[in-house]
Amino acid sequence: MAHDAAYVQHLRDRCAEADVDGLNGEWFPYVFGRDRSLDTGTPLQRNTVELAWHSACVALTAADLVREGVPAAYALCRPPGHHASRGATGGYCYFNNAALAAARLLDTAERVVVLDLDIHHGNGTQDIFYASERVLYCSIHGDPEWGYPPHTGFAEETGAGVGTGFSFNQPLPMNTGWPEYFVALDRALERISRFDPAYVVLSQGFDTFEGDRWGGFLLRAPDYAVIGRSVRAIGRPVVALLEGGYEPENLIAGSLSLLEGLS
């Protein structure tokens, strides 16, 4: 539903090679842009495809729950997914959980929005839906001048073909705090309101939390409750998915706060 068949086979083949040709059981992409990978830091082990598929199934289960009438579901996905494009890994992502959830929701809906609030641009999700008018992709993230990935997530990336105008990127400067972040969130919510989706897929990263080792923003736990309430205020069922976030304490505090807001 989201990836090329040749890409999935590539992952399976590399996993099979990991124990034989890998380094301590891990197969690493050779260089940036080669071996179907955005970077050299997203290795494969023999069971990576299996584990990534289990993560994707969590997202698909959440999508099925909201299709059956649950107002909101939070899918704790690991590995995350939003850097996985139609044909490449990257950023610790193998299968794009958000894109798979959105594709499942499109089975019974005309329009779905993906709101990506990880500090890193969800290049993979944007890639998969870049030429679609049925999915609005809205992302608030660190400016690619300093954030990962360095080549995508610019404001002028707005879509292609019939999908022109259905990608909305808001890159923000280092050390963005809640007041500035909320302004960007409000702009995204206004765009979503005009799009009028049947469902909301929330790619929620907690690497926006102050002190995250791969972060750069200054959000705190109570801010995620406001995010949850703001997303629920759209008035559509919500599939929330865990993306990045690399400090366990922040993952706990941010998740509980987000759930409070979604409830």
Who's near 68: CB < 8 A, 6+ residues apart?
none
* Residues 85 and 123 sit within 8 Å (Cβ to Cβ): yes
Query: Which residue, 137, 116, 115, 146, is CA-closest to 214?
Result: 146
83 part of the active site: yes
Task: Given the residues 3, 83, 121, 141, select the one marked as catalytic.
Answer: 83
Residue 203: beta bridge partners?
116, 241
- Can you read off the two tokens belonging to residue 107? 């089975």
What is the set of active-site residues? 83
